Chain A
């Protein structure tokens, strides 16, 4: 059974600070996705990571994938309030179905 673990589950950080969210998974997969969810809303795709060593950046967010360590990271640089949301990592299994982590609820404060 593929297990996906995110940490931390809750994160409160000040504007301007940096932080990293971690996503570990238990079995081999070469496809990992990061999504953002605002309260009461659906999921928005952030990054698609398809190979070992993949790194993608969009604005203040950067995601990376290490398939050998079964680890992905989502790094936040100089956080701003607009980044407050819940972030999910999801790992592909059984074709294209996804197994999601529990999410990291991020609150950026002044």
Chain B
């Protein structure tokens, strides 16, 4: 089955801890994205990557970091510098032609205790 997987589904973090959210895709897509969704809100872009070993900041990158060492993987680290990390995190991927439709993973719900 082709698709995007995210893990874990639920994550609890203590204040001051860094945590890493996993995102893997086997769709052979070049581009990958991380979005944050707060209750009753739309999605906001954190980081995106269009090629291995390269990535760009989105609108709310502060307190987050990413890496893109493999085409299939785009992990997101939520650092202790992110003051309000409780949210639903969605990873997406797309090709870079034919409209670039983004396909989304199932999401990770992060809660800070």
Binding site for B on A (CB under 8 A): 4, 31, 33, 35, 41-45, 48, 50, 88, 90, 92, 94-103
A43 proximity list for chain B (CB < 8 A) = 43, 90, 92, 104
Bound-state Cα–Cα, A4 to B59, Å: 14
Binding site for A on B (CB under 8 A): 31, 33, 35, 40-45, 48, 50, 56, 58, 90, 92, 94, 96, 99-107
- Contact status B105-A96, CB under 8 Å: no
A93, closest chain B residue (CB): B45
Tell which of A45, A94, A97, A103 touches B101, judged by Cβ atoms closer than 8 Å.
A45
User: Do most interface residues of chain A lie in helix, strand or loop, or is the interface mixed?
Assistant: strand
- Contact status A100-B105, CB under 8 Å: no
A35 proximity list for chain B (CB < 8 A) = 104
- Contact status B100-A45, CB under 8 Å: no
Interface centre among A4, A48, A50, A96, by most chain B C-beta atoms within 10 angstroms, is A96
B100 proximity list for chain A (CB < 8 A) = 31, 92, 96
| Nearest 9 pairs of A and B residues by beta carbon | A100-B42, A96-B100, A100-B43, A43-B104, A102-B42, A42-B104, A48-B99, A48-B101, A42-B106
